[in-house]
Amino acid sequence: MSDLPTPESLLPHREPFLLVDELTELVPGESVKGIWHITGDEYFFPGHFPGRPTLPGVLMVEALAQAGACAALVDERFKGRIPLFGGVNNVKFRRQVVPGETLELEVTFAKIGSRGGRGQGTATVNGEVACTAELMVVLVEA
């Protein structure tokens, strides 16, 4: 059992929009690794796509952002704040993600301060890159 906090203890997100199941590594204000188990029971699969369920790319980016938010919110400097998207750049989708796979999330901040930050996110499945993105975050009062 991990001594890391749970995503729901840090994030304001809740089902069905909590997209990080577990944190596996966490350095406050610097980096995070986490996982999202794609079960196939998620609300969007019946419509994306019927007969060929595929994880929407935008939800991979959101999962990376939620993981990154965990690294920010566990830092004492950012208690009482909510991280919001400030921007997303250079998003690349490299492979489809389907039910039964585990999306491994990794975000490293290049810069983060009281007003926001910038980081690099990578989502992989079994070591294969599914998505990369530069994430910008704005930290607002809760």
pLDDT digits 0-9 by tens, 2-56: 699 999 999 999 999 999 999 999 999 999 999 999 999 999 999 999 999 999 9
**What's domain 7-141's superfamily in CATH?**
Hotdog Thioesterase (3.10.129.10)
Which one-letter amino acid corresponds to residue 90?
Answer: N
Domain chopping of the chain, boundaries:
7-141
Task: Please give the model's pTM, rounded to 2 decimal places.
Answer: 0.96
Which residue out of 29, 48, 108, 136 is catalytically annotated? 48
Q: Does the annotation count 48 as an active-site position?
A: yes
The single residue listed with the structure tokens 């809760």 is 142
- The answer to whether the CB of 58 falls within 8 A of the CB of 44 is no
Q: Apex CA 116: angle with CA 110 and CA 118, to 5°? A: 25
